[in-house]
Amino acid sequence: MTSETKIEIKGLTKYYGKTRGIEDLDLEVKSGEIFGFLGPNGAGKTTTIRCMMNTLLPTKGEIRISGELVTRGNPKLREKIGYVPGELALPEYYRVNEFLNYIEAMRGKPETRRQEIIDRFDLNSNLHKKIGELSKGNKQKLGIVSAFMNDPEVLIMDEPTAGLDPLLQQEVYKLLIESKKEGKTLFMSSHNLEEVQRVCDRVGIVKNGSLISIEDIENLNKDVPRIVEARLRNPDETRLAEFGNRLLEFRKHDSFVRILIRMEDSIKDNIGILLAQDPEELIYPPASLEEFFLQFYERKN
């Protein structure tokens, strides 16, 4: 399968009055690719996605999806794109089934995967409920069903796993990876570093309305520090102070320490120092986005 550009963004800028939403964004995503849009709160992820979905008018710039210019009233886009919004503005008084029928009628294309995705996300017992009666997680599942059910070639998702329990998050990841293998194009925003590392091929990193870098996932992984947390029975304050100075970050509270080890630094040496202080527990949690930024900026500067 040859990959072709399915999402093309040129010079996208959106200001809300004087507040910058996103500025001068250029990027391309190809078929068979999962592109992650990673950034802290307020970075401009939702603004970009809403411009892609034509629910927000850009101040400047151009977006093409599947070769179609994103403009108001371009009906071809509806059947090509599946969309999982960040905040689902669902009509509360509709029953789930009625809502899915409505989306199907609007797209004008049979929803070939509707029952399959409903089964996968275990939504059968909710089909006759009013949307307003659904829990947050079930609303999120409904958003995923409505985005994937007509098997669109492009999927645009604003934090697709938000509010889902870990098992269902895994089901979303499976669905994303299957879709990519089928040659679909997937664009997802996230502020969950681990999720992006798990499923994405490339990642655009946004901060304060600017795209600061686009990285292949292998390259991004080099900037993810390793975290170790330990509770020490015999903390050696002098040794810990000297040790802390060499690390990317060192935090201590009573007998609890959390250390950030740069990818290139030796795990053995650093954990050895903790082991020598008789830990009653030692865990290896995933790095947060903020912790990733510590190493990322150190390497960039």
Interacting residues with ligand ATP (CB under 6 A)? 16, 19, 21, 39, 41-47, 86, 191
Q: Which is nearer to ligand ATP, 70 or 261 (CB)?
A: 70
From the CB of 15, what's the least distance to ligand ATP, in Å?
9
- DSSP symbol at 93: T
Q: Which amino acid is at 187?
A: F
Q: Which is nearer to ligand ATP, 146 or 189 (CB)?
A: 189
Which SS3 state, helix, strand or coil, does residue 14 take?
Answer: strand
Torsion sign across C-alpha atoms 23, 82, 103, 172: negative
Q: Let me know: does 54 contact 62? Beta carbons within 8 Å.
A: no
From the CB of 209, what's the least distance to ligand ATP, in Å?
6
From the CB of 268, what's the least distance to ligand ATP, in Å?
37
Q: Which is nearer to ligand ATP, 213 or 255 (CB)?
A: 213
Question: What is the rounded CA–CA span in Å between residue 170 and residue 194?
Answer: 12
From the CB of 249, what's the least distance to ligand ATP, in Å?
23
Q: Which is nearer to ligand ATP, 16 or 93 (CB)?
A: 16
Burial class (CB in 10 A: 0-12, 13-18, 19+), 87: exposed
From the CB of 16, what's the least distance to ligand ATP, in Å?
3
Q: Which is nearer to ligand ATP, 41 or 238 (CB)?
A: 41
Backbone angles phi, psi at 196, to 5 degrees: -65, -40
From the CB of 50, what's the least distance to ligand ATP, in Å?
8
Place of tokens 């990876």: 177
213-252 b/e (C-beta count within 10 Å ≥ 16 → b)? eebebeebeebbbbbbbbbbeebeeeebeebeeebbbeee
Q: Which is nearer to ligand ATP, 192 or 270 (CB)?
A: 192
Count of CB atoms within 10 A of residue 8's CB? Answer: 18
